[in-house]
């Protein structure tokens, strides 16, 4: 059965292009041109993923996302935004969006992000074990290895990596990471995140041909594979 994607986009020309491209790729699609219509379609049909524009008439995209997350915490949502202001992107991620892409975008990149989100939603872990590429970790035994090489982590490094492994391919804001790993009552230097990210990179990327923890400037971090030639 084909996976079903709901496109919530007020610019009809963009929505039509997305509909045609996704249909060509084998997906079933639905289209809504307002926030209110998007919520109706979300509630009345089953979807595997939602492409959600932020600047929507009737109901703003962030409010649509908030309402979606009150009833469904699992469906992948990718934000479509023309804004360069990171505040909207961070707000969307904090509200539970899985990813975002800024207009104008290449359709190949969007398709790759869709595939990544769908893989994640189908489940990539079992019980207390997690795997990303050739990196593996077990939450109970606290064992970590990459490509068969055992990796020793401090408790804080382990907790940070575990949080990333539980949200692969998802851009996580610095606030999300800080609250999840250090706690809501942490009032120390927020640069501690950067320090521990560097520690993790040294340990898990040593001798490997690709890196797994990437920086998203102005937002936070994402567990995503890149070759060592690419910028970390």
Q: pLDDT tens per residue, the chain (232 residues)?
A: 678 999 999 999 999 999 999 999 999 999 999 999 999 999 888 899 999 999 999 999 999 999 988 876 678 999 998 766 678 888 888 888 888 898 888 999 999 989 988 877 665 444 578 888 889 998 888 899 998 889 999 999 999 999 999 888 888 888 888 888 887 666 666 688 999 999 999 999 888 888 999 999 888 999 988 876 544 4
Same domain assignment for residues 79 and 107: yes
Question: Range of 11's domain?
Answer: 4-121
Same domain assignment for residues 111 and 59: yes
Same domain assignment for residues 18 and 110: yes
Q: Say if 232 falls within a structural domain.
A: no
Same domain assignment for residues 113 and 173: no
Point out the domain boundary residue: 121, 151, 168.
Answer: 121
Looking at residue 92, what is its pLDDT?
A: 87
Q: Which CATH number fits the domain that encloses residue 187?
A: 1.10.10.10
Q: How many domains does the chain have?
A: 2
> What contacts 14, CB < 8 A, 6 or more positions away?
80, 103
180 CB-side CA count, 13 A: 19
Same domain assignment for residues 160 and 91: no
Same domain assignment for residues 160 and 58: no
Note whether 43 and 16 are within 8 A (CB).
Answer: no
Same domain assignment for residues 67 and 163: no
Q: Say if 209 falls within a structural domain.
A: yes
Point out the domain boundary residue: 121, 152, 183.
Answer: 121
Q: Say if 53 falls within a structural domain.
A: yes
Same domain assignment for residues 94 and 139: no
From the CA atom positions of the chain, what is the Rg in Å?
A: 18
Looking at residue 232, what is its pLDDT?
A: 42
Same domain assignment for residues 113 and 155: no
d(CA 51, CA 105): 13
């Amino acid at each position: 059965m084909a996976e079903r994607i709901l496109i919530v986009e007020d610019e009809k020309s963009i929505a039509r292009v997305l509909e045609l491209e996704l249909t060509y790729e084998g997906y079933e699609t639905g289209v809504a041109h307002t926030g209110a219509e998007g919520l109706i379609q979300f509630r009345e049909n089953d979807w595997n993923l939602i492409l959600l524009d932020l600047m929507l008439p009737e109901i703003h995209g962030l409010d649509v996302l908030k309402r979606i997350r009150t009833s469904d915490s699992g469906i992948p949502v990718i934000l479509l935004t023309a804004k360069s202001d990171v505040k909207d992107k961070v707000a969307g991620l904090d509200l539970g969006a899985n990813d975002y892409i800024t207009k104008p975008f290449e359709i190949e990149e969007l398709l790759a992000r869709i595939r990544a989100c769908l893989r994640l939603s189908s489940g990539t872990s079992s019980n207390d074990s997690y795997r990303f590429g050739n990196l593996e970790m077990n939450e109970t035994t606290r064992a970590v290895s990459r490509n068969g090489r055992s990796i020793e982590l401090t408790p804080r490094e382990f907790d940070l990596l575990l949080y990333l492994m539980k949200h692969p391919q998802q851009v996580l804001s610095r606030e999300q990471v800080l609250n999840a790993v250090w706690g809501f009552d942490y009032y120390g230097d927020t640069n501690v995140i950067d320090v521990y990210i560097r520690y993790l990179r040294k340990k898990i990327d040593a001798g490997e041909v690709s890196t797994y923890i990437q920086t998203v400037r102005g937002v936070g971090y994402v567990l995503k594979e890149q070759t060592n030639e690419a910028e970390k």
